[in-house]
Amino acid sequence: MATYKPLVVQTVPKLGEKITQDTLYWRGYKTPVQIKEFGAVNKIDFSPVSPYNYAVTASSRIHIYGHYSQEPIKTFSRFKDAAYCATYRDDGNLLVAGSEEGSIRLFDLSGRAPLRQFDGHTKAAHVVGFLSDKYRIFSGGDDYSSNLWDIPSGTEIISYSEHTDYVRCGCASKVNADVFITGSYDHTVKLFDARTKSSVMTIEHGQPVESVLLFPSGGLLVSAGGRYVKVWDVLKGGQLLVSLKNHHKTVTCLCLNSSGQRLLSGSLDRHVKIYSTTSYKVVHSFNYATSILSLALSPEDETIVVGMTNGVLNVKHRKPEERKEDSQKKRQPSYRTCVKGRTYMPKQEDFCVSKPVKRVLRKYDKLLKSFQSSKALDAVLEPPIRLYTPEVTVAVMQELHRRGTLRSALAGRDEKQINLLLTFVARRVIEPRFTPILVTVADMITDIYQPVVGQSAIVDRQFLRLQEAIGKEIDYQEELLEVLGMMDTLFATFTKKRDAHVEENKSNGLAETIETNMMN
Amino acid sequence: MVAPVAALRVVRCGGSSLHGARAVFSADSKYLLCASGDFVKMYSVATEETLRVMGGHADLVTGIQLNPRNHMQLYSSSLDGSIKLWDFMDGIPIKTFTVGSKLLALYALASFEDSVFVVIPKSDTFQLVSVKLTKAAGQDLEAKELSVVLDDVDASPKCIAFGREGEYVASVKEVNLQVYFFKQKQLNRFSVSAAKTKSGNNQFSCVACHPTEDCIATGHADGKIRLWRNFCHKKEYTFSTLHWHHDTVMDLAFSVEGTCLLSGGVESVLVLWRNESDCQKDFLPRLGSAIEYISMASDGALCCTLHSDNRITIINSNLRFAKSIQGLIKSANVKTGLVVDPRTKALVLNGEPGHLQFYCLQSDQQLFSLDIVQRQYIHQAGLNQADLVKVAFSAQGKWLATVEEREEVTDPELQLKLWFYDEETQSFKLNTRINMPHEDHITDMCFRDMDELEDDSLILVTTGRDCVFKVWVMVEDTDPEGNVSWSCDFVGSYHNYQATNCCFSEDGSLLAVSFEETVTVWDSVTWDLKCTFCHPPGKIRNICFGRLTCSKYLIGATDYGFLCCWNLLSCACKIRLKVCSSDPSTTKCILGFAVFVFKPNEPRPIYIQRNLCREKIQLAAFVPRDEPETVGSEKHLWLRRSQLFFLTDTQELMTLSTKSLQERLTPSSKQLAVEESLPVTPFSLLLGKHRRQQSQEDIGLGKIIVRNKREQDSPAVKELLHTPAHVLPSASFLCPVFIDSLLISKEKKSAEEVADEVEMESEKTEDDSDEERDITEMEQEDTSPVELLGEMTCKLSKSQEKELRKIRKMDYSWISAF
């Protein structure tokens, strides 16, 4: 004997973004903190040592922010004009920054005045950085040169003038203290070895290079310029590994996450895209209010800081891990009483009496079970179900329609209830998953309540709204059909014609048919 | 020695309609007797199994009643005009009384000595007559002494009831109730007004009489029950009304003491009315399908309901569901056709509404019922509810595709569901549900059958009336669990014709799809249209590829009884046949009442049988046999490897067999006889069982019984066991080998043939080559265990020698040490 089968509510898979491990990971940030800077933020750099302060270069100042502070804990403002590319040294003690007038300044984090000043660039020095031996600094400037400086002596070691346009980005190798790369607006990325007089390798990016990045292993090089992000294999002599075109405006900044498994790119199109470094597919993307100039990720991915063209600094902190212990502690006593005796294993001589498990039915199921159609419909028109799970409401309507009792369930309602029903129908009838059944419902309601039209202003208004909603949907569908027709004509021009071949076969088969028929 | 050429006979193998008459409990309520087609079946109430099938009537059995004076005997009446008296404990017909005219119902009463009441037709109407059963000696007797009791009665056995010790008889027809008192010889007529109400008319549908009081209960078509009293007076009669049913009351029954009344109807709810009052009632809901008959056991402890889907439900007196006896469940319309599950070799077809039944052909039992629609079924006449229409299994039975639909005037509700066989739970699990796979009804569907390849090659093709066919493939989900789901891969169409059938070639490289009058052949890799075939008169009804040596042929059947066979290599029509042109009216199947079997490469049928059975054949399927049957004649070689089953209109399952009736029946009846003669002490029960097993084993060797595979090994094992102990090697050595020999070897399972089932129209295409291949294969299978055993004995002897040598060596060393 069968038991009552509860109503099956059809679930529709959500279209669009699929939930992956990545989306879960990258969504785990709190709502961003916005900090207003004086000008466009051209560089953000995290201190490599705890407490992971970060230096933000904007306009003529360098602000140092603490982990959670919204006010700068330190400011370097000894610049006459714009400062560029404030970068920490590996030990987090020194900070170097270029400037518009071409001088490069080295600061001690504890002091205020610069320790050293390196003059040599005739134009703005947009990129500076430490080599990994900590005692040398590389820089690139708008005078097309890339220089190497010695910190102890404060002098220039070597100057390479190989680029033919502004040098705007650079990066030092972490594994070799003599190697650094610079990217320039002449569309090339050059790899320099401090031990040689000229560049070791030149990579043709194809667009003005805005940002370069070396993988921690030093084997892979990432360059961004134009709409492209390109990954090159340095060890194979600069072979292109993959070219990514996921932004629709210039990519301005690149960044690796702490594990090196994900590559982030920020662009003027207001998006930050996150790629997997194994498949080079976009696994997630962030959307920001304005064009992005700079981007940095703190160690352990605790914080994402993004700098924009309008001077806004956007800081996102990771949500703390949810503590599951607390919730468990709370539930423990009741759980223990629940399972009391559950684990008892019956002995051989014990006589077991099995108690049937009582199934809990939803309210509408109970009513449907006892064939109370009208009440079942009322139950699913309650606000929580109607608003948050409209599929349940529609499923009950469909079940009633299957049973042939929908009409009687809809009939005999007062003004308030009709208003409720019509609001629901007018709002949901355009959703494709509900349309078939709600059209029937709308039909029935108009059928049943036709005689009372004109008696209540509220109901009349709802009818008009329904009409409007359906009219709009029809227009929309017509437009879509037009587009489809256009696309069909476009596709039709691509397909080959094979009809002639088919025709031939058919006639052949026919002739044979007649022959055999005669034989029979 | 040449075996005599046995003609093929049609054998009924299950699923005949059980609702010819009310079921009868035996006096001790241990057995339940039931009319089933031409037979009377006896079931055990405790174990639900069929104990005995009593055959002898030449037509439907219409009534069974216990002999009132000897409760070990049973009267049965049939449409063939005879009443038989049975000893049902032994299954022996004692007497046969020939009445002459058709008997539509039978009533036997204790108060009327040696006469029974039957309903016989008289011109257009029917009359209730009493038949004097002569006590003369002899088996076949004439019973011509008829005396009319009531004229103008209804043909249904439910419309006549005898009251209180047989003092009166009540009969209902349309809106009239007649009560005839035997003693007074008085006939009272009552009628209800024939006014048609909103919920239906108030015609009578059934009648029951109170066992002790003067009270008649009548059921009506509008769902009301009326209780009539005081009906010995023509004018001062009274009646009260009970109303719960919203559809026709199908049957009524009073309890033995008459304190309560049971009623049932289309709602499939058994209602118990206490004290004949409207407010005190109990329900037993959701019994599965409409209740046709209700009968009570004589001790009142049990009652049973017969349902319209050929199921018997046994219910305790406290209205608790106790047992259910079900064979082949009858569904209103077998839309799925007959499909064979490759895993269990069970026949799969529509069962309960919304369910798929797996029916075991060997044991005439339902293996299980799979809920496909998963929705509450509302038992209400005229309600349009979703039901299963198409079923397809993948080659290994790992995937099951089902299509359910609900007929709707505006737009049909369609769902395609894909089920995955879960090894752990041993059942199918829903994997993917696709809403509206086609815009219109799905006409056919098939999997690409490729055993040797892995899952990636699995493709499902559906054809729809919306003029397209769709190809569905499995895709891996992107979510972390990495599940698979199905999605559409390709949509093909041809000149905007409705796609009607689809079929994959044996190697899976070609797909044939028929579009009305045209057959198109597609490449299954690139989905290019390869060629088209056309056959002018009539639309294609079914297509099928040949197998093995005939795989180059594509066979199509068309509307007007034509069968075409195209050669795919030359793209030419090879055979064109007109089959049974005399029978164009049957639309559902071309064959109607006849069966034709063809080889695809020969234009002449290898087997023709016309007029197989009384009813029209609806569906048919070839079911592979577990073991090849020994077929005597060359003519019936096609039956060796597989068996042809067909389903008639009345949902009787038939098969063709070369064996004679005795051969088929002997094993079962013998077994029963032993069982019946069992003494009931537990000790003797144990002993008896043991003995019976032994005797059966002995008999089993000489007879053609479908033997278990394990039993084949038994002679060798026996041999092993019978060798003197002193010759054998040590027990520790023998044990693993012996146990290994008991296991069923793996090769057998894997070599088992895939179901080569085909539908009715295409079954003619069953090819001989297939048979031949299968036969050789089976022969190999047969030899394998023998070889295995040979090896084993060989091994044994070697090991024996080794052992002996060892012992000798040991002995010698021992001696030398001294």
* Predicted pLDDT at B582: 30
d(CA A390, CA A384): 9
CA distance B518 to chain A (A): 9
Sort out which chain B residues have CB atoms less than 8 A from A520's CB and list them: 576-578, 603
Alpha-carbon torsion B592, B598, B604, B610, what sign?
negative
Q: Residue B439 above 80 pLDDT?
A: yes
Alpha-carbon torsion B349, B351, B357, B361, what sign?
negative
* Predicted pLDDT at B750: 40
Question: C-alpha angle with apex A439: A436 to A440, nearest 5 degrees?
Answer: 90
pLDDT band for B786, please (50, 70, 90 cuts): very low
Q: Is A506 in contact with B603 (Cβ distance < 8 A)? A: no
Give the ranges where A322-432 is alpha helix by DSSP (H): 324-338, 363-369, 373-380, 383-388, 390-403, 406-410, 415-428
Contacts (Cβ under 8 Å, ≥6 apart) of B784: B745, B747, B748
Q: Is B572 in contact with A508 (Cβ distance < 8 A)? A: yes
How many other C-beta atoms lie within 10 A of the C-beta of residue B348? 23
* Predicted pLDDT at A321: 74
Contacts (Cβ under 8 Å, ≥6 apart) of B470: B437, B438, B461, B462, B464, B488, B490, B491, B492
* Predicted pLDDT at B611: 60
SS3 B687: helix
Sort out which chain A residues have CB atoms less than 8 A from B575's CB and list them: 516
Q: Which of A18, A25, A440, A512 to mutate to test the interface with B (most CBs of B within 10 A)?
A: A512
d(CA A97, CA A87): 6
pLDDT band for B615, please (50, 70, 90 cuts): low
The tokens for B283 are: 């329900």
d(CA B551, CA B539): 23
* Predicted pLDDT at A396: 94
Sort out which chain B residues have CB atoms less than 8 A from A440's CB and list them: 410
* Predicted pLDDT at A183: 93
The tokens for B702 are: 């000489």
Higher pLDDT, A440 or B561: A440
Sort out which chain A residues have CB atoms less than 8 A from B573's CB and list them: 509, 512-513, 516
pLDDT band for B547, please (50, 70, 90 cuts): confident
* pLDDT tens digit at each of 520 positions of chain A: 578 888 888 887 776 667 778 888 888 888 899 999 888 999 999 998 888 899 999 888 899 998 878 888 889 888 888 999 999 998 888 999 999 988 999 999 888 888 889 988 999 999 999 998 889 999 999 999 999 999 999 899 999 998 999 999 999 998 888 999 999 999 999 999 989 888 899 999 999 999 999 998 888 999 999 999 999 998 888 889 999 999 999 999 999 988 888 999 999 999 999 999 888 888 889 999 999 999 999 888 889 999 999 999 999 998 887 655 555 555 566 666 767 777 778 788 888 887 778 888 999 999 999 999 999 999 999 999 999 999 999 999 999 998 889 999 999 899 999 999 999 999 999 998 898 899 999 999 999 999 988 888 999 999 999 999 999 999 999 999 999 999 999 998 887 655 444 444 443 433 333 333 333 3
Residue of A7, A402, A505 with shortest CB distance to B531: A505
Least confident residue range of A244-253, A439-448, B292-301, B756-765: B756-765
Q: Is B479 in contact with A513 (Cβ distance < 8 A)? A: no
Q: Is A502 in contact with B313 (Cβ distance < 8 A)? A: no
Q: Which of A439, A516, A518, A520 to mutate to test the interface with B (most CBs of B within 10 A)?
A: A516
Sort out which chain A residues have CB atoms less than 8 A from B321's CB and list them: 1
The tokens for B514 are: 């028929």
Q: Residue B54 above 80 pLDDT?
A: yes
Q: Is B571 in contact with A509 (Cβ distance < 8 A)? A: yes
* Predicted pLDDT at A481: 96
**Searching chain B, which residue's CA lies closest to the CA of residue A8?**
B375
pLDDT band for B237, please (50, 70, 90 cuts): confident
Sort out which chain A residues have CB atoms less than 8 A from B576's CB and list them: 513, 516-517, 520
Q: Residue B625 above 60 pLDDT?
A: yes
**Searching chain B, which residue's CA lies closest to the CA of residue A398?**
B413
> Smallest Cα–Cα separation from B454: which of B392, B508, B505, B379?
B508
Provide the b/e sequence for A230-259 (b: ≥16 CB within 10 Å). Answer: bbbebeeebeeeeebebbeebbbbbbbbee
Radius of gyration of chain B (CA): 31
Q: What is the mean pLDDT of residues B248-255?
A: 92
What percentage of chain B has pLDDT greater than the value 70? 68
* Predicted pLDDT at B482: 62
In the block, residue with structure tokens 């051209």 = A42
SS3 B769: helix
The tokens for B647 are: 């389903």
Q: What is the mean pLDDT of residues B790-817?
A: 56
pLDDT band for B755, please (50, 70, 90 cuts): very low
Long-range contacts formed by B75-83: CB under 8 A, 24+ apart: B75/B106, B75/B108, B75/B116, B76/B35, B76/B40, B76/B106, B77/B103, B77/B105, B77/B106, B77/B118, B78/B38, B78/B103, B79/B103, B79/B104, B82/B57, B83/B116, B83/B118, B83/B131, B83/B133, B83/B143
**Searching chain A, which residue's CA lies closest to the CA of residue B532?**
A506
pLDDT digits 0-9 by tens, B148-171: 888 888 888 899 999 888 889 999
Cis omega (within 30 of 0) on the bond before A51? yes
Q: Which of B375, B435, B569, B576 to mutate to test the interface with A (most CBs of A within 10 A)?
A: B576
Q: Is A402 in contact with B374 (Cβ distance < 8 A)? A: no
Q: Residue B99 above 70 pLDDT?
A: yes
The tokens for B9 are: 């006979």
- In this complex, is the C-beta atom of A518 within 8 Å of any C-beta atom belonging to chain B? no
- In this complex, is the C-beta atom of B574 within 8 Å of any C-beta atom belonging to chain A? yes
CA distance A211 to chain B (A): 32
A65, A73 in Cβ contact below 8 A? Answer: yes
> Smallest Cα–Cα separation from B522: which of B490, B546, B547?
B490
Q: Which burial class, exposed, middle or buried, applies to B29 when counting CB atoms under 10 A from its CB (0-12, 13-18, 19+)? A: middle
> Smallest Cα–Cα separation from B613: which of B577, B582, B653?
B653
Mean pLDDT of chain B: 75
Contacts (Cβ under 8 Å, ≥6 apart) of A297: A46, A255, A256, A257, A258, A264, A303, A304, A305
Alpha-carbon torsion B222, B223, B224, B225, what sign?
positive
Higher pLDDT, B258 or B666: B258
SS3 A367: helix
Q: Is B478 in contact with A18 (Cβ distance < 8 A)? A: yes
Q: Is B572 in contact with A509 (Cβ distance < 8 A)? A: yes
- In this complex, is the C-beta atom of A15 within 8 Å of any C-beta atom belonging to chain B? no
pLDDT digits 0-9 by tens, B465-524: 888 999 998 887 765 566 788 888 889 888 888 898 888 887 888 899 998 888 899 988
Whole-Å CA distances, B107 to A144, B75, B131:
116, 9, 10
